[in-house]
Amino acid sequence: NAANQKNKNRGRQRQRNRSRKK
């Protein structure tokens, strides 16, 4: 579960960066 949560957080951060770049 911990690994899954970490991956989810990473994906969320990536999406945030994309929005910021836009």
**Dist CA 22 CA 8 (whole Å):** 21
The structure's pTM equals: 0.22
pLDDT at residue 1 is higher than 70: yes
pLDDT tens figures, 6-19: 777 666 666 666 66
pLDDT at residue 2 is higher than 70: yes
Owner of token pair 């969320």: 12
CA atoms lying within 13 Å on the CB side of residue 14:
6
For CA atoms 7, 12, 15, 21, give the dihedral sign.
Answer: negative
